[in-house]
Chains A and B, each alone.
Chain A
């Protein structure tokens, strides 16, 4: 029997689909998303792409300008720095530390933070409420300061820095998840499902999660840009990833002295860092916008 569509049936998209739909409709949002994905991909394969070892110093090519400048050399596409190290390789591998590592750190801290936040969001008694106000107050202490304290205790070094920033990101996730879940939990439709006898776990996963997902993804982008900024700033100050490792922030740290000699050594890492953060911020902002459009429509 042929399938006949007798009744006109309108699809009612889920909240998530709605957000995605209005996100997709905007060119800038999609461009930023694709750019971000491309950058992540590039970082993942960077060890294969990098033409040279990042610490090899070519004594015959010290402070060589990028290839598009007259005196440049095609062999060193983005030029070399004052020690004769290839900029392109350093930028590519630097992405591992400046973008790859923050993604990893955000993944770990979000897992921890969101689980705690979700649990904290669903049970709130009066006592808990006053506690949470206190918690909010303490949360106002910036994550960068917390990372600094942890580094002061543990000392610098790759592992310590990664640990410090991961730890300092967790509270924000707890905060945002808890507020989002809590707000959702007290909406009437959830109260109704609760009165219908749905279990807490069911409510959390099937009822609340779809509604708070966009907010959480937005927080992911915020935390990612904070993590990138923090690790770059720490390295810039000399407290983060240490010198021979090509991190974008630490590459910038030594560039001011030589800016007359090789301006590209300041421009290239800076632009890379800026574009990365900008892309993430645009994705986050577009998401916020899409979310608001859903609520308004």
Chain B
């Protein structure tokens, strides 16, 4: 495990390092002055010479990069080109708001997708399997923005159940502090906390549902195929021949082994999730990273663009690292395959 851990961590660290190199070089790719792109201070502003000095703007590129790293790790991510607010503070809030949405959606996707996948596999090629699999195919093929429109049309406009923009009704006067709406509600000194909480829940239901559907269908299909493949394996048949109940065969042998296969494909899941979160946040005007990124692209707010990109990429790498570590810890054969053969 130590070796696996070290290997995975070192790859992660190198990847993060490459990521910082990339986001540093973005400053040169973006149109305009690199120092302005990094710091959000324009060349005619009075603080520009100071910033130039601090970021090593006159020195060679390696020194500049070191300065950039230093700023990055001390939370000094410059200021927004459009309204001058510090990027780091904004970024944290948007990050937390996004994570709230994404993690809830992931929970929904996992708790519904995996069991349904197992169910379909255990009814392989019977009516209920076909129904579930067709549903998954449909759900997986609906473009997320159209799905959002349809759901808004149905639940928000026709039925009027859920509101469609933002995290909470501004009338409750809940100040964004952490970015997570639930924590913010608790921190606020509003007199109507319970009502505010209810309102926050109403706001989050629709985006979470929409965001969860595609990953859920993906998981369902992956799990169904993996489980079905496992059920064909000799060791499963042998377990059955030994007289174990079908339930026990499924729970103790087929599902763990299928999970091992599914976990190998979670990169797909996370990248689908993040891609869709960008679109969903824009539609629902959710104050998360995706919305932030799209707005900054429109406004050519380069300090924000690179910070958002950096955060997105980091989140993906980090999620994948977590899954890989869990994978290697729970399924020793994964470690074995990676270091013992070839």
Q: A: which residues have CB within 8 A of B?
A: 130, 133-134, 137-145, 148-149, 151-153, 186, 225, 229, 232-233, 236-239, 249, 252-253, 255-256, 259, 266, 270, 273-274, 277-278, 281-282, 285, 292, 296
Chain A residue with Cβ nearest B270: A140
Q: Is B293's beta carbon under 8 Å from chain A?
A: yes
Q: CB within 8 A of B143: which of A148, A186, A274?
A: A274
Which residues of the partner chain A approach B298 to less than 8 Å between Cβ atoms? Answer: 238-239
Nearest-CB distance from B219 to chain A (Å)?
15
Which residues of B (1-58) have their CB < 8 Å from a CB of A? 7, 11-12, 14-15, 18, 26, 29-31
Q: How far is the CA of A137 from the CA of B319 in the complex (A)?
A: 11
Q: Is B142's beta carbon under 8 Å from chain A?
A: yes
Which residues of the partner chain A approach B14 to less than 8 Å between Cβ atoms? Answer: 134
Q: How far is the CA of A274 from the CA of B143 in the complex (A)?
A: 6
Cross-chain contact A237 with B282 (CB below 8 angstroms): yes
Q: Is B128's beta carbon under 8 Å from chain A?
A: no
Which residues of the partner chain B approach A139 to less than 8 Å between Cβ atoms? Answer: 267
Nearest-CB distance from A31 to chain B (Å)?
13
Contact status of A151 and B137, CB under 8 A, knowing A145-B274, A252-B146: no
Cross-chain contact A255 with B149 (CB below 8 angstroms): yes
Contact status of A148 and B297, CB under 8 A, knowing A233-B145, A281-B140: yes
Q: 6 A–B contact pairs at CB < 8 A? A: A145-B275, A255-B149, A266-B153, A274-B143, A277-B143, A281-B141
Chain A residue with Cβ nearest B293: A148
Q: How far is the CA of A277 from the CA of B141 in the complex (A)?
A: 6
Q: CB within 8 A of A239: which of B141, B272, B297?
A: B297
Q: Is B190's beta carbon under 8 Å from chain A?
A: no
Cross-chain contact B316 with A141 (CB below 8 angstroms): yes
Cross-chain contact B143 with A273 (CB below 8 angstroms): yes
Which residues of the partner chain A approach B30 to less than 8 Å between Cβ atoms? Answer: 152-153
Q: Is B309's beta carbon under 8 Å from chain A?
A: yes
Q: Is B81's beta carbon under 8 Å from chain A?
A: no
Contact status of A278 and B275, CB under 8 A, knowing A137-B11, A140-B317, A259-B153: no
Q: How far is the CA of A142 from the CA of B143 in the complex (A)?
A: 16
Q: Is B259's beta carbon under 8 Å from chain A?
A: no
Chain A residue with Cβ nearest B305: A152
Q: How far is the CA of A113 from the CA of B267 in the complex (A)?
A: 20
Which residues of the partner chain A approach B72 to less than 8 Å between Cβ atoms? Answer: none
Nearest-CB distance from B341 to chain A (Å)?
10
Which residues of B (265-283) have their CB < 8 Å from a CB of A? 267, 270-272, 274-275, 278-279, 282
Cross-chain contact B312 with A145 (CB below 8 angstroms): yes
Q: Is B294's beta carbon under 8 Å from chain A?
A: yes
Cross-chain contact A256 with B271 (CB below 8 angstroms): no
Cross-chain contact B143 with A232 (CB below 8 angstroms): yes
Which residues of the partner chain B approach A144 to less than 8 Å between Cβ atoms? Answer: 271, 275, 278
Q: B: which residues have CB within 8 A of A?
A: 7, 11-12, 14-15, 18, 26, 29-31, 137-138, 140-146, 149-150, 152-153, 157, 229, 232, 267, 270-272, 274-275, 278-279, 282, 293-294, 297-298, 302, 305, 309, 312-313, 316-317, 320, 342
Q: How far is the CA of A278 from the CA of B11 in the complex (A)?
A: 37
Which residues of the partner chain B approach A137 to less than 8 Å between Cβ atoms? Answer: 11-12, 15, 317, 320
Chain B residue with Cβ nearest A153: B29
Q: How far is the CA of A270 from the CA of B275 in the complex (A)?
A: 19
Contact status of A256 and B152, CB under 8 A, knowing A140-B317, A151-B297, A186-B342: yes
Q: CB within 8 A of A142: which of B137, B271, B293, B297?
A: B271
Cross-chain contact B146 with A282 (CB below 8 angstroms): no
Nearest-CB distance from B29 to chain A (Å)?
5
Q: How far is the CA of A18 from the CA of B70 in the complex (A)?
A: 59
Which residues of the partner chain B approach A239 to less than 8 Å between Cβ atoms? Answer: 294, 297-298
CB-based closest 3 A-B pairs: A142-B271, A278-B141, A270-B146
Cross-chain contact A134 with B15 (CB below 8 angstroms): yes
* Most chain B CB within a 10 A radius of its CB, from A138, A139, A273, A278: A138
Cross-chain contact B294 with A249 (CB below 8 angstroms): no
Cross-chain contact B141 with A140 (CB below 8 angstroms): no
Chain A residue with Cβ nearest B228: A292
Besides A137-B317, A256-B149, 13 new A-B residue pairs in contact (Cβ under 8 A), listed by A number: A133-B7, A142-B271, A144-B271, A144-B278, A152-B30, A236-B279, A249-B145, A252-B145, A255-B149, A270-B146, A278-B137, A278-B138, A296-B232
Which residues of the partner chain B approach A138 to less than 8 Å between Cβ atoms? Answer: 15, 18
Q: How far is the CA of A146 from the CA of B304 in the complex (A)?
A: 16
Which residues of the partner chain A approach B267 to less than 8 Å between Cβ atoms? Answer: 139-140
